[in-house]
């Protein structure tokens, strides 16, 4: 029996699915735009060159699926200020070069701020156990990652550990994208890992409100192609429905113990997502019961000290927000691949391994015949 990874990368099946996708788009008889909201989907699409197999009349666009990219300037500023105040800030490597108003965490470290790179919240807790210094975990990521933070908090971290939460909740962001006036999106591919936590049933309300189909997809090339075929069929027929094409991991109810942990620790709050908009209920913040672990309540964060340095003049040309809203592509940015490259990123979308600009720079995002959305 073939290994599962090979099974989901079978070229013959991929060709058959590409033909089915063409038929679905032909049946619509119009140019079609479908959106996924996951950096892992964009990585797989770019890495395996799937766009070259998509119909020319189909645009598959990445939306706000990179948690690092949507971490807002004031959230980065808070982490930078804490580091410059002498608090040890532990965070993912991707977060280091995300620009704040005047500095990134990497800049803060260069100025003597205490910034540690960790692989996850458990490592940050281990750091705290090994020292008497205050350790703040600057937590980013969607609900999948927030569950890990919640579990660690419920396990009881040491007294010198706290969390600066920049965790985001993806379903409300889909609501925003669906109502962007210029949007051409006719359906959404939902991320299988997030849906494994929340369950696919969470999209039923969205589908009813916006009359747009949602299909849950896994991350292997055939998972993505099969889900796109079904999504294009539903869009072609203008059938608003939720379908789960990742049943080996996702159920309607999702992971109930993980949901219980998530909502025991976090509550949703409205807030700005970088470059996009205010997203009602889009931020995950610690509940009042966990105020003693909330860095925002534990420390007086001195943001005034960040006013001594002007923002990067190039950043005003960054169109990350338009890219994440699905109304532009990296190819539309005048800085892409010139002033803005992974070694010298101007915007957050070029920093993270899950950012659209970074992925397009690494793998090439679209065949040359494909026009920018």
Q: Where are the alpha helices (DSSP H) in 245-318?
A: 256-265, 295-298
In the bound state with ligand SF4, the residue whose beta carbon lies nearer, of 35 and 81, is 35
d(CA 250, CA 246): 6
H helix or E strand, kind and range, residue 140: strand 135-141
d(CA 114, CA 329): 36
Give the residue from 292, 291, 284, 339 showing the smallest Cα distance to 315.
339
d(CA 61, CA 35): 5
Residue 330 binds ligand SF4, judged by CB under 6 A: yes
Q: How far is the CB of 357 from ligand SF4 (least distance, A)?
A: 3
Q: How far is the CB of 338 from ligand SF4 (least distance, A)?
A: 9
Give the residue from 284, 263, 291, 266 showing the smallest Cα distance to 75.
284
Q: How far is the CB of 325 from ligand SF4 (least distance, A)?
A: 12
Which are the contacts of 184, defined by CB distance < 8 A and separation ≥ 6?
Answer: 31, 33, 59, 326, 373
Residue 64 binds ligand SF4, judged by CB under 6 A: no
Residue 135 binds ligand SF4, judged by CB under 6 A: no
Residue 340 binds ligand SF4, judged by CB under 6 A: yes
Which part of the chain contacts ligand SF4 (CB under 6 A), choosing from 98-106, 219-227, 276-284, 349-357? 349-357
In the bound state with ligand SF4, the residue whose beta carbon lies nearer, of 17 and 320, is 320
Residue 320 binds ligand SF4, judged by CB under 6 A: yes
Residue 87 binds ligand SF4, judged by CB under 6 A: no
Over the window 248 to 277, marking each residue x when it contacts ligand SF4 by CB under 6 A and - when it does not, the resulting string is ------------------------------
Task: Give bridge partners of residue 141 from the DSSP assignment.
Answer: 167
Residue 327 binds ligand SF4, judged by CB under 6 A: no
d(CA 95, CA 27): 43
Among 336, 352, 359, 366, binds ligand SF4 (CB under 6 A): 336
- Positions touching ligand SF4 (CB under 6 A) are 318-320, 323, 330, 333, 335-336, 340, 346-347, 349-350, 357
């Amino acid at each position: 029996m073939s290994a599962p990874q090979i099974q989901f990368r079978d070229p013959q099946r991929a060709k058959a699915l590409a033909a089915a996708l063409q038929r679905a788009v032909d049946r619509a008889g119009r140019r079609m735009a479908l959106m996924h909201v996951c950096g892992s989907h964009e990585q797989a699409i770019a890495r395996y060159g799937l766009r070259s197999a998509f119909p020319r009349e189909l645009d598959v666009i990445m939306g706000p699926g990179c948690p690092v990219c949507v971490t807002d300037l004031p959230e980065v500023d808070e982490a930078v200020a804490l580091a410059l105040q002498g608090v040890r800030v532990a965070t993912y490597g991707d977060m280091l070069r995300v620009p704040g108003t005047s500095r990134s965490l990497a800049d803060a470290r260069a100025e003597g701020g205490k910034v540690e790179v960790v692989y996850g919240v458990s490592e940050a807790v281990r750091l705290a156990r090994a020292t008497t210094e205050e350790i703040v975990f600057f937590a980013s990521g969607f609900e999948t990652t927030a569950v890990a933070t919640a579990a660690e908090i419920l396990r009881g971290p040491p007294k010198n550990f706290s969390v600066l939460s920049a965790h985001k909740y993806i379903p409300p962001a889909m609501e925003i994208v669906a109502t962007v006036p210029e949007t051409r999106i006719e359906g959404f591919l939902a991320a299988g890992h997030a849906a494994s936590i929340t369950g696919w049933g969470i999209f039923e309300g969205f589908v009813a409100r916006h009359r747009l189909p949602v299909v849950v997809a896994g991350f292997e090339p055939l998972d993505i192609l099969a889900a796109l075929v079904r999504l294009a069929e539903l869009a072609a027929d203008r059938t608003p429905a939720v379908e789960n094409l990742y049943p080996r991991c996702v159920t309607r109810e999702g992971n109930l113990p993980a949901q219980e942990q998530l909502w025991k620790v976090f509550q949703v709050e409205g807030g700005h997502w970088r470059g996009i908009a205010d997203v009602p209920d889009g931020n995950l913040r610690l509940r009042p019961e966990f105020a003693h672990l909330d860095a925002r309540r534990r420390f007086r964060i001195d943001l005034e000290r960040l006013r001594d340095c002007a923002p990067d003049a190039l950043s005003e040309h960054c169109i990350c927000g338009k890219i994440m809203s699905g109304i532009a592509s990296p190819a539309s940015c005048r800085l892409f691949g010139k002033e803005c490259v992974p070694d010298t990123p101007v915007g957050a979308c070029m920093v993270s391994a899950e950012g659209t600009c970074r992925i397009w720079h690494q793998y090439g995002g679209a065949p040359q015949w494909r026009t920018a959305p």
